[in-house]
Structure 1
Amino acid sequence: MKKIVFISHGHPELSKGGAEVASWNLYQLLLEQGYDCLYIARADGASHGGSTFSSRGNEVLFHTGMTDWFNLSTSHLKPLFTDLYELLKQFDPDVVHIHHYAHMGIELFPAVRKALPKAKVVFTLHEFMAMCMHNGQMVKRETLKLCNKAVSTDCHQCFPSHSPGDFFLRKNYILDQFSHVDEFVSPSHFLAQRYVEWGLPKDNVHVIENVLPTLSPAKPRTLTTEEKRTKLAFFGQVNPYKGLDILLKAISLLPEAVREQIHLDVHGANLDIQTSDFKEKVEALLEDVKDCVDLRGPYESEQLPSRMAECDWVIIPSIWWENSPVVIQEAIHLGRPLIGSNIGGMKEKIEGKAGITFEARSAASLASAIVNAIEPEVFDYWHAKLNNQQEAVEQHLQFIEQLCNA
């Protein structure tokens, strides 16, 4: 029986980020296929008794931390090069599939290679953290202007306390750690191309979408006579990068006759932990459109199908590039077309395939897209184009099988 180890920077039951969920879904898929799998997830806090590892069901929690966020590095080397080393040697996997290094340190890669010199090491890219110190967003720190590539002098402008030389050395240190990876996986062509341009070997970067649990599409909402497709929904964190403020402004710009029909449900949280300027901006916009917007709050994964079934269109107005937002996949598989920003992974996944795109960061362009989208024939056209088949399942299985037999 082939053995696979998954390493994530968080357990999806404790931290519901995209990388955690993606790694968990793939772990569950391979378990179902008969692979012997071990899931290792970094966890906050110390374990009972202060040991490096503890258990959560059949999974292992890895208690460690990162001490240098500039270099994505850690000075806690014993957990990596002694404790994780022993655990990996004991399990002796054929493949180690790493889904993040955050909170553990970029030295995770040489630590795995040292423990398992013959195993295949795979790393799935989920964002731009390696090339962008600004939370991996690839936007300017003050202006939020999009960055098309990582340039040391530009990075210095965002973080003046670090010289261009510091960023040059940072990049080379990270690439040196990545040299211990055999194969890279990217869920989008956009993200893959950015990393190849940055320095990853093109022949070792493979584009395979993330795996979802099985989802059954919901039937389109039943319309009354002359009713339009006016039920809109936003799913995601409420922060400056996700573009909720752009969406709320777009709603306020709609012609009065359209706005009277529109209803937007906002499914998300964390406005309370944002900066005061952003909170005040969003709260003012919400007050302006309170007649047609409801804040539904956070949701658990099992609540998603029923919440999405209530809407006609899912809107993704993010102002940063994104990679492969899981909500796009979820909407497609649950039978809901999308309206999304025309940049990055959103454009790649939506345009011409699953809905309408609009000029990123333009509330006026989004308002125009909404006016177009509410027409029933527009919804019907894009709904008919949605593809509920998960090609990624077979692609991942073939990829893992090739690695195990290499």
Structure 2
Amino acid sequence: MNKSNTRTLIVSHGHPDFNKGGAEVAAYNLYSAMRDRGEDAFFLARTSQPPHGGAAFSSRKDKREILFHTTMDDGFLFSNLKTRHLWQEFRDLLQLIKPDVVHLHHYFLLGIEIFTEIRNMLPHARIVLTLHEYLAICHNKGLMIKTNGKLCYGASARDCYNCFNSVQPGDFFLREKYIKNHFDMVDHFISPSLFLKKRYVEWGIEEAKISVIENGLPEAASSVIDAGNEDILKPKQTFAFFGQINPYKGIDVLLQALTLLPKAIRQQVRVEIHGANLDQQESKYQEKVKKLLKKLGKTAIFQGAYEQHEMPTLLRAVDWAVVPSIWWENSPVVIQEALAAKVPLIVSNIGGMSEKVRDGIDGFHFRHSNPADLAAVIERCVMQPTIRSKMSDNIKPILKLEECLSLHQKVYTSSLA
């Protein structure tokens, strides 16, 4: 595809050099693909790194990668209070760059007012926002889980008050209006999953304004890997978890499932936990996970943190990837990485997880938050070892980054038209 004639500004709430979340990586990958293609693109990332000389901005790597030294003070409205004076410097930056398209991958930590600031300063620019989770809908960390632990199927002022009764229903009503007023400045939305799109349509965004585009993987990460796990008799089958460790990722569900396996089955299983930030969780959760790990002994091995470039090597050594999240998820990058490596998955049967993995074809679903059901799936994998190879063969090629960029360019062009 030939490069476009438009100037694009990609905006993220973090730079992957400092913050390795899925949204930050997706934003930077898209920017990198544009630059590789010779596009006229800039990357702006919010950072908590201290500014130099009190300046709002600093450059990184080259003058096209810019760090925005700002903060968000109101987590309820996603509004900037103490740093509102920085909006003038942001407006000056927009005038200097003069992008035709501003594609934001978040507003968290940047401030929800950023859409209106862009629209007022660049009335003819096209604003695109990728929705990576449910923060605008749900005050509970954007998880759409009630504070009692149950899944939430739709927000309302009264239901939100039941979760957070220190905030009045009227305030939740006004919060929604405030966010939607700034969302009105957005020309088009992108959702990495159909499930997330449906949630935002139910919330009130016009369906035609949201396109579903999966986050593409760079060529090195999306190339098929020969996992070397053909149907041969092995003493153990290896199941692996990859990702951040917190109460919503379901590590405890996976570990509890292992305790429910018959001893003869458990002896044929090895589980690897690859992830970081366990030490940053509440002590009660840390104790629960550590107690389960101790109980399981050599069956479950905690491997600690890993770098993204290590994923192909790590995946080559496993038979199954497990995504046991207890919240809806949108489009976990580990699913794409596993599919790219031809590694079948075992995932919770909700949200973007069940959308990305076809039950019984290239992986298995299990009932979310249900250790017994997960244990049954693991036992089936052990008892029927040939099924792994069949599912691996059924895995379809994933969306490559270059293809992902082409789909985004169509959205940009359509908006400009």
Shorter-chain TM-score category? over 0.9
Question: Given that residues 230 and 312 in structure 1 are in contact (C-alpha distance below 8 angstroms), is that contact kept between their aligned partners in structure 2?
Answer: yes
- Counterpart of 2:66 (choices 60, 71, 77) is 60
In structure 1, the partner of 2:15 is 11
CA distance in 1, matches of 2:411, 2:192: 19
- The CA deviation string for residues 224-276 of structure 1, in whole angstroms up to 9 with x for no partner, is 95327711100011111000000001111111111001001100011111112
CA distance in 1, matches of 2:105, 2:229: 41
- Residue 28 of structure 1 aligns to a residue whose secondary structure is helix
- Percent identical among aligned pairs is 44
Give the aligned residue type for 1:52. A
Question: Given that residues 274 and 306 in structure 2 are in contact (C-alpha distance below 8 angstroms), is that contact kept between their aligned partners in structure 1?
Answer: yes
CA distance in 2, matches of 1:50, 1:392: 37
Question: Given that residues 293 and 301 in structure 2 are in contact (C-alpha distance below 8 angstroms), is that contact kept between their aligned partners in structure 1?
Answer: no
Residue 249, structure 1, aligned to residue 256, structure 2: yes
Question: Given that residues 236 and 267 in structure 2 are in contact (C-alpha distance below 8 angstroms), is that contact kept between their aligned partners in structure 1?
Answer: no
- Residue 290 of structure 1 aligns to a residue whose secondary structure is helix
Question: Given that residues 314 and 337 in structure 1 are in contact (C-alpha distance below 8 angstroms), is that contact kept between their aligned partners in structure 2?
Answer: yes
Give the aligned residue type for 2:41. C
In structure 1, the partner of 2:380 is 372
Pair 241,10 (structure 1): closer, same or farther in 2 beyond 3 Å: same
Pair 195,392 (structure 1): closer, same or farther in 2 beyond 3 Å: farther
Question: Given that residues 228 and 376 in structure 1 are in contact (C-alpha distance below 8 angstroms), is that contact kept between their aligned partners in structure 2?
Answer: no
- Residue 206 of structure 1 aligns to a residue whose secondary structure is strand
In structure 2, the partner of 1:276 is 283
- Residue 5 of structure 1 aligns to a residue whose secondary structure is strand
- Residue 298 of structure 2 aligns to a residue whose secondary structure is coil
CA distance in 1, matches of 2:332, 2:323: 9
CA distance in 1, matches of 2:245, 2:407: 37
Matches within 5 A, 1:125-204: 125-141=131-147, 143-204=148-209
- Counterpart of 1:44 (choices 48, 51, 63) is 48
In structure 2, the partner of 1:342 is 349
- Residue 118 of structure 1 aligns to a residue whose secondary structure is coil
- Residue 289 of structure 1 aligns to a residue whose secondary structure is helix
Residue 98, structure 1, aligned to residue 104, structure 2: yes
Pair 396,169 (structure 1): closer, same or farther in 2 beyond 3 Å: same
In structure 2, the partner of 1:26 is 30
Shift of 1:391: 6.0
- Uncovered stretches (5+) of structure 2, i.e. residues with no partner: none
In structure 2, the partner of 1:363 is 371
Q: TM-score, normalised by structure 2?
A: 0.94
- Residue 296 of structure 1 aligns to a residue whose secondary structure is strand
Give the aligned residue type for 1:309. R
Runs of at least 4 residues of structure 1 off by over 6 A? none
Residue 384, structure 1, aligned to residue 393, structure 2: yes
Question: Given that residues 145 and 327 in structure 2 are in contact (C-alpha distance below 8 angstroms), is that contact kept between their aligned partners in structure 1?
Answer: yes
CA distance in 1, matches of 2:12, 2:20: 12
Question: Given that residues 231 and 386 in structure 2 are in contact (C-alpha distance below 8 angstroms), is that contact kept between their aligned partners in structure 1?
Answer: no
Residue 262, structure 1, aligned to residue 269, structure 2: yes
Shift of 1:200: 0.8
Question: Given that residues 215 and 399 in structure 2 are in contact (C-alpha distance below 8 angstroms), is that contact kept between their aligned partners in structure 1?
Answer: no
Question: Given that residues 30 and 401 in structure 2 are in contact (C-alpha distance below 8 angstroms), is that contact kept between their aligned partners in structure 1?
Answer: no
CA distance in 1, matches of 2:198, 2:18: 31
Pair 108,275 (structure 1): closer, same or farther in 2 beyond 3 Å: same
CA RMSD of aligned residues (A): 1.6
Question: Given that residues 208 and 396 in structure 1 are in contact (C-alpha distance below 8 angstroms), is that contact kept between their aligned partners in structure 2?
Answer: no
CA distance in 2, matches of 1:96, 1:27: 12
- Residue 379 of structure 1 aligns to a residue whose secondary structure is helix
Pair 45,392 (structure 1): closer, same or farther in 2 beyond 3 Å: closer
Q: TM-score, normalised by structure 1?
A: 0.96
CA distance in 1, matches of 2:292, 2:151: 24
Query: Paired residues, what number?
Result: 404
Question: Given that residues 227 and 315 in structure 2 are in contact (C-alpha distance below 8 angstroms), is that contact kept between their aligned partners in structure 1?
Answer: no
Bigger Cα displacement from structure 2, 203-212 vs 383-392: 383-392
- The CA deviation string for residues 31-74 of structure 1, in whole angstroms up to 9 with x for no partner, is 12221110000000431101000111121000111111111111
